[in-house]
Amino acid sequence: RNLISQETFKFHFKDLRYAKGRKDTFLCYEVTRKDCDSPVSLHHGVFKNKDNIHAEICFLYWFHDKVLKVLSPREEFKITWYMSWSPCFECAEQIVRFLATHHNLSLDIFSSRLYNVRVPETQQNLCRLVQEGAQVAAMDLYEFKKCWKKFVDNGGRRFRPWKRLLTNFRYQDSKLQEIL
């Protein structure tokens, strides 16, 4: 299983307003098949920026090359991302194009922090993601716990929220709602 360390998670996913020194994006993903009443997990793991390619694009390349070929186009699939940063405008644009050509896929994006949302193109492309059917939301306590449990080498320890997690979530969420 592709897990991240507790220290990496706490450093990179901390939902700070100003996150200095956090240049990498981590993307924890799960791909499920919508099967009757309960989804069936097919793949999960972690991507991070690599060789100047953003984590979202690494996922899309991997998904296209390794997963899409074996999925039935007649079945519906759900992709869930837990990200340390929301997508930049260029990545959001590529994700929009990806969703537009794969109608049997849905995408939920939960991000710890908003990336460069003062840039109008970033705001526009986050809106375009939603218009294309993606759910875009700030990570709240529930998502942090879920991410910790599934994607962190946690040694069986429960997630312990950091100070101001809920306050910072409300800030990130309100900024995102203003944009959307």
Q: Residue 127 phi/psi, 5° resolution?
A: -65, -40
Cβ burial, residue 88 (10 Å; 0-12/13-18/19+) = middle
For residues 28-49, average pLDDT? 84
Distance (Å, whole) CA 13 – CA 85: 8
Please give the model's pTM, rounded to 2 decimal places.
0.92
Instruction: Write out the two tokens for 113.
Output: 């922090």
- Is domain 6-14+22-178 in CATH 3.40.140.10, yes or no? yes
C-beta separation of 83 from 112 below 8 A: yes
User: Using one digit for the tens of pLDDT, what is the confidence trace for 104-163?
Assistant: 899 999 999 998 888 889 899 999 999 999 999 999 999 999 999 999 999 999 999 999
What is the percent of the chain where pLDDT is above 90? 67
pLDDT confidence tier of residue 34, bands split at 50, 70 and 90: confident
Q: Predicted confidence band at 17 (pLDDT cuts at 50, 70, 90)?
A: confident
Phi, psi of 119 (to 5 degrees): -80, 120
Q: Which residues are catalytic?
A: 56
Domain-by-domain residue ranges, the chain? Answer: 6-14+22-178
Residue 32 and residue 77 in contact, taking contact as beta carbons nearer than 8 Å:
yes
DSSP-assigned letters across all residues of 53-118: B-HHHHHHHHIIIIIGGGS-TTS-EEEEEEEEEPPPHHHHHHHHHHHHH-TTEEEEEEEEE--STT
